[in-house]
């Protein structure tokens, strides 16, 4: 019996998958629907066990359980979310069949709307990472440019390669794993990788020390007097063996600047975003060792992590 079958995940968190070869993609049924959700996941299938680097086509069907129209197909989208429901999680599973690494378009809905009780299909391919492990991808439909639809995030559960069942049984509820070689950060829940994101660790001369840490505090906007910069979504780290040394996890740092010199929302050379009097360090630094020793995530990603990782959450730097 495969490992994922043994683990017996509740169906409420498993994405229904359906391989479709063609045919009509807009459906209508007259089923009982919940009143507190804008949509209902209709398709469901066993979890997927894949090989590293494999490309697989999957499809899911959702029903409009609200009272309003889902506008034309160029507005209805399937968006990525974090496991805590925060929107716009960059996905490492995306392929050319996606609009971006955070959006998938429905099929067969050009210039059409989805009425209440009708259904819409999203068919797309995923490419598995080369790293063996257990993963969960979370999605939620939205009307682009308007709002996200209300409902429980749709979870896609995947096993990549062969896994040791004992390892999964010993998994911690939450873990952050930082890889200095690949400059990536993984968020792990009960043994499942729920997000893989680019980071920036310490540059030469400021190398982020490897080891085991725990989170001991959260500061929404911390200030570094030494480097004269602000660090949004600061998460303080305490080494298991060395104690508090001043290292932490935070979003790309920013400087407070004169608004008259910058254009709101503009991204300047190097990926430097200006907004609300703040000029951020460039997004181009993510994926590179460029910090003074702390671990940097993107601005939005660090906000999601700030909400996801409680004090006491373990952090492993390798």
Summarize pLDDT for 157-192 with one digit per residue, the tens: 999 998 776 466 567 899 999 999 999 999 999 999
Strand partners, 309: none
pLDDT score for 112: 87
Sign of CA dihedral 259, 264, 267, 272: positive
Band (pLDDT 50/70/90 cuts) for residue 101 is very high
Whether the Cβ atoms of residue 143 and residue 71 lie closer than 8 Å to each other:
yes
Q: What is the rounded distance in angstroms from the CA atom of residue 201 to the CA atom of residue 185?
A: 10
Catalytic positions: 250, 294
> Helix (H, G, I), strand (E, B), or coil: what is residue 4?
helix
Positions of CATH 2.60.40.10 in the chain = 3-165
Q: Which among 211, 206, 293 is positioned nearest to 248, based on CA atoms?
A: 293
Q: What is the rounded distance in angstroms from the CA atom of residue 288 to the CA atom of residue 272?
A: 15
Q: End-to-end CA distance of the chain, in Å?
A: 33
Band (pLDDT 50/70/90 cuts) for residue 29 is very low
Give percent above pLDDT 90 in the chain: 79
Fold that domain 3-165 belongs to in CATH: Immunoglobulin-like (2.60.40)
Fold that domain 171-317 belongs to in CATH: L,D-transpeptidase catalytic domain-like (2.40.440)
Residues 161-166: contacts with CB within 8 Å, 24+ apart? 161/51, 161/52, 161/132, 161/133, 162/132, 163/3, 163/132, 163/133, 163/134, 165/3, 165/6
Report the chain's mean pLDDT, rounded to a whole number: 87
pLDDT score for 109: 86
Q: Read off φ and ψ for residue 311, nearest 5 degrees.
A: -55, 140
Torsion of CA 35, 14, 80, 126, to 10 degrees: -140
Positions of CATH 2.40.440.10 in the chain = 171-317
Q: Read off φ and ψ for residue 133, nearest 5 degrees.
A: 165, -175
Summarize pLDDT for 229-286 with one digit per residue, the tens: 999 999 999 999 999 999 999 999 999 999 999 999 999 999 999 999 999 999 999 9
pTM: 0.85
């Amino acid at each position: 019996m495969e490992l994922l079958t043994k683990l017996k995940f509740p169906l409420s968190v498993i994405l229904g998958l359906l391989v479709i070869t063609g045919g009509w993609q807009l459906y209508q049924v007259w089923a009982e629907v919940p009143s507190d959700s804008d949509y209902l996941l209709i398709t469901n299938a066993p979890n997927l066990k894949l090989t590293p680097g494999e490309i697989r086509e999957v499809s899911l069907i959702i029903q409009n359980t609200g009272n309003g129209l889902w506008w034309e197909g160029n507005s209805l989208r399937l968006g990525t979310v974090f496991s805590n429901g925060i929107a716009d999680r960059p996905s490492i599973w995306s392929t050319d069949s996606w609009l971006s690494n955070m959006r998938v378009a429905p099929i067969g809905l050009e210039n059409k709307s989805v009425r209440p009780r009708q259904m819409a299909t999203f068919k797309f391919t995923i490419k598995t990472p080369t790293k063996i492990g257990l993963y969960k991808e979370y999605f939620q439909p939205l009307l682009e440019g308007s709002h996200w639809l209300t409902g429980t995030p749709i979870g896609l559960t995947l096993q990549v390669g062969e896994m040791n069942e004992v390892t999964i049984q010993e998994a911690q509820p939450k873990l952050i794993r930082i890889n200095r070689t690949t400059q990536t950060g993984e968020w792990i829940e009960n043994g499942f990788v729920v997000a893989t994101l680019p980071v920036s660790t310490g540059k030469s001369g400021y190398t982020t020390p490897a080891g085991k840490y725990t989170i001991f505090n959260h500061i929404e906007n911390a200030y570094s007097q030494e480097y004269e910069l602000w660090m949004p979504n600061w998460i303080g780290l305490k080494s298991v063996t060395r104690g508090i040394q001043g290292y932490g996890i935070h979003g790309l740092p920013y400087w407070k600047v004169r608004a008259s010199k910058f254009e709101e929302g503009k991204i300047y050379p190097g990926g430097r975003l200006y907004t609300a009097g703040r000029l951020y360090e460039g997004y181009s630094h993510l994926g590179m060792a460029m910090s003074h020793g702390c671990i940097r995530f993107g601005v939005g990603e660090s906000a999601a992590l700030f909400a996801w990782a409680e004090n006491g959450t373990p952090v492993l730097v390798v």
